Structure formats: C-alpha cells, structure tokens
Structure 1
Amino acid sequence: MIIIATILIIEDDKVLNKGVAFALKKEGYKIISAYNMEEGKNAILQNEIDFLLLDINLPDGSGLGLCRNINDKMDFPIVFFTANDTEEDMIQGFECGCDDYISKPFSMDVLKLKISAILKRNTSSNKDIFKYKNMKIDYISRKVYKNDEEIYLTVTEYKLLEVLSRNKGRAMTKEILLDKLWDNNGNYVDENTLSVNIRRLRKKIEDDGKNPEYIVTLFGIGYIMGE
C-alpha cells in the first residue's frame, strides 16, 4: 500500500533529481525538488514535508549539517544520497539522524521500497502523535505543543482540537463538531459555545488570528484543519 506523502528531494544533479521525481510521482507521491541547501531550507519552511531525500555533497554546503539542523527542529524521515558509502561516512550520517542511505548509482526499485518501508514504519510508530506545521498533539498524554512549548487547553478546547486534527483536510460541519463535543454525561455544547472555543483555540495556536492557518473557517459549512 502506498502512503500518500510529500517528498522533498535536495539533489544538485538535475538529471538525477528529475529522474527520481518522475519515478516517485508515478507512485502517487507529491514531489518537491530543490537543487541546493538554500532552496531546500525554503522548501521545508514553506511546505509540510513527510520525507526527505538528501544529497550529502551540495554546492552550498554539507547535507550532514542540514540533517542535524532538521532533526533539532522537525521530525520526518531522511535518506541520504551518497557516492561515499564508507563505514565512517555512514556513521556520521546516522549520528546526524538520518534513517538510511542509498549509494549512487542505485536501483529505482530499491529506492521505492526503502521509502515505502520507512514511511510505513514511521506512520505506525507515530499514530499517537499528530504534527502539523509547528504544532504537535500527543493523543496519549492529551498535551499540545507549539514551537516545542506546551499550550494549556481546557477540556472542551482539547476535544475540539483533537476532532479537527484527527480529520485533517476534511471539512467538519458545525453539526458534526457539536455531536463530537457532547459527552457521555450529557454535557451539551451549543453553537455559541463552539464559536467561543474556536476563538479561544485560535488565540492559543494561531500566529495570526485574523489569518488562521490551523483552524480555517469554511463559510456556511464549518471548519477544517489543513488543506
């Protein structure tokens, strides 16, 4: 089963970059290509990346340093493209936080299998963790973090955020949300209370409450998290 994911390729060899992008698009992945570190950093900041294919030797720096920087701030699998497959080089890469290596030249079928296996493993191990932009929700501990700082929510605010996040990308009508917030003790949340909690949530998690990116209003319908 192919997991739909956005894959960023940072590789300065344009022929290789375009070839890998073409092959992975045919598998159903969304592909973003960058040809140096600067373009790669911008792509990471501007997009929600699920997987990174990273060349070690880039024209404007080392992929090792970028890998280390990414792992300090973000959490998605990284596989290195490398022409240097010595034990020392591989150890350096794993110490930086990469998930695997693939040595040039490589089989496209092997690359596809590596990506699929890592994505499945990563999805399975993180099913209790939700991440979107700079927000993280731990469904087990019921804690929410923004830029690695905990955000304190009321019970109703958390329940609302959990429903929206578990249905990321899906339009949630007000009726559905009200039904989800009606608890087993019969405590009913009306439409006005829903609106109040949406406003409170936005104050806590949005960078700009007037232009929300996490909880977007669908006029006449309800709300949606994500695209």
Structure 2
Amino acid sequence: MKTILIVEDDVNLCGGVKLYLEKKGYQVLCAHSLHEARRITDKGAETIALMLLDCNLPDGDGMEFCRNWRRRQAVPVIFLTARDTEEDMIRGFRAGADDYMAKPFSVELLSERIAAVLRRSAGEEDRQMFCYRGLAVDLGKKQVFREQEPVKLSGTEYRILELLIDNRSQVMTREMLLQKIWDIDENYVDENTLNVYIRRLRRKLEKDPKNPEYIITVFGIGYTFGDM
C-alpha cells in the first residue's frame, strides 16, 4: 500500500481528498502546516510515495518547501493550489513539482494524475509501444506510425512528441518544452521556432491539422497530448 502525504491547511478539503484516496487503496497522512509536514517527513520520509502540496500555507511557502524536499528526496510532488497563472505553474515546476492542479479540481482526475506520476516515478510505464487513435509510437526504437504508415520526424519533432506523450496527464507549458528541447541539436529554440515545430508535427500526424486530436493547444499555457 503506497503512502501519500497531503500538506493542505484547508481541513475540509484535506479530509475529502484523504477519504477518496483511501477508497482507492492508498494510505494517506495529512499535515495542515509545514511544521506538521516536517515532523512527519523527519520521522519517515522513506515511507512516503508521493506528496500533495499546497503552495500557500500558514507558516511558509509550499514551493520553497518543495525545493528543499527535492534536494533530499526523489519522492514526487503534485501541487494543489489556487495559484493558477502560467507564471505560478512555471515556478511550481521549477521548484521540482511533477504535476500541478489548480483548485477547484476533480478528485477523480487527481487520482488519475497520482497514478500516472507514480508510474513514471517507478519506471513502470511501457516504454516500447504507445498507441492512440491510429497513431503508434515505438518509444524504444523512436519510430512513429500513422495508420500503420511510417512518419519521418526530425530529432526535435520526435522529442516534442515524446515529451507530450510522457506527460499526457498534464499540460506542458511552452517554457517547459523550450527548456527540454533547446539543446536537441545544440541549437537554441525560441517560441517562434517552437510554433514552427508544432505546425510541422500537426501536418505530419493529424488528419486535420486545424482540428488536432493528438497535439492539443491549451490557450495561454501550452500543449497537451490527446484527451487529459
């Protein structure tokens, strides 16, 4: 049974999430302040599989807590917060978050994202073949097929597609993509170049590039793969 630590000062929200996750088979610990979270992690950080962390807590900044935590532990973190601007999300990912959910949120979707983050963390994702609506990607051989026909992608185009597939439970901000792909060919990639790569990918992969079903734009934030 995997243990999840919720660090959230809203007692009712924490209790509701705890109840739902326990029904899903997790053991759940709750802390309503950073002080309580430190006390729990000091006693048994090695037993925690994942942390759900609020950004705004009565005794400090959750992002700074996350930054310090990730220096010591590889345990994944998902932020739960009302701070939902692109700037806040970028700060959260830079602090070491594995995912970011803005309040209010669906506990069912949260449960799915927890499962996805835990799979990635444990290396349990199938790295051989990914299939979705006629698109097949051999992640081991780095080959792409649409309706069983091979699709030739450049190294950077493939890397963008792979990143979106690997993180399909979340939105990849434009800045996150730029940070990940800028050095594929040791060339700097700016936002205009990223736009070009996205257009090329859609032309090569989508049946209707103007109405994509694989590479979806999340306006004002970035991109996601398929249905989240």
Deviations along 1:175-212, one digit per CA (max 9) or x if unpaired, are: xxxxxxxxxxxxxxxxxxxxxxxxxxxxxxxxxxxxxx
Matches within 5 A, 1:196-215: none
Match status 1:34 vs 2:35: no
Structure with larger Rg: 1
Match of 1:216 in 2: none
Match of 2:94 in 1: 95
State the distance in 2 between where 1:109 and 1:5 align. 18
State the distance in 2 between where 1:69 and 1:84 align. 20
Match of 2:65 in 1: 66
User: Which 4+ stretches in 1 moved above 6 angstroms?
Assistant: none
* SS of the residue 1:112 aligns to: helix
Match of 2:111 in 1: 112
Q: Shift of residue 125 of structure 1?
A: 6.4
State the distance in 2 between where 1:93 and 1:49 align. 20
State the distance in 2 between where 1:50 and 1:43 align. 13
Structure 1: which amino acid aligns with 2:33? N
Percent of counterpart pairs with the same letter?
45
Unpaired segments ≥5 residues, structure 1: 127-227
State the distance in 2 between where 1:86 and 1:34 align. 25
RMSD: 1.3
Match of 1:17 in 2: 14
State the distance in 2 between where 1:119 and 1:108 align. 16
Q: Shift of residue 84 of structure 1?
A: 1.1
- Return the match for 2:41 from 34, 41, 44: 44
State the distance in 1 between where 2:56 and 2:88 align. 12
Q: Shift of residue 124 of structure 1?
A: 1.3
Deviations along 1:13-60, one digit per CA (max 9) or x if unpaired, are: 000000000000001101110000000011111122110000000000
State the distance in 2 between where 1:84 and 1:63 align. 12
Match status 1:123 vs 2:122: yes
Deviations along 1:67-99, one digit per CA (max 9) or x if unpaired, are: 000011111110001111101101111111000
Unpaired segments ≥5 residues, structure 2: 126-228
Matches within 5 A, 1:71-220: 71-124=70-123
State the distance in 2 between where 1:123 and 1:77 align. 10
Q: Shift of residue 102 of structure 1?
A: 0.7
Q: Shift of residue 5 of structure 1?
A: 1.0
State the distance in 1 between where 2:101 and 2:54 align. 10
Match of 1:169 in 2: none
Match of 2:177 in 1: none
Match status 1:53 vs 2:33: no
* SS of the residue 1:50 aligns to: strand
Name which of structure 1's ranges 41-50 and 12-21 shifts more when overlaid on structure 2. 41-50
State the distance in 1 between where 2:40 and 2:85 align. 30
* SS of the residue 1:115 aligns to: helix
State the distance in 2 between where 1:113 and 1:13 align. 22
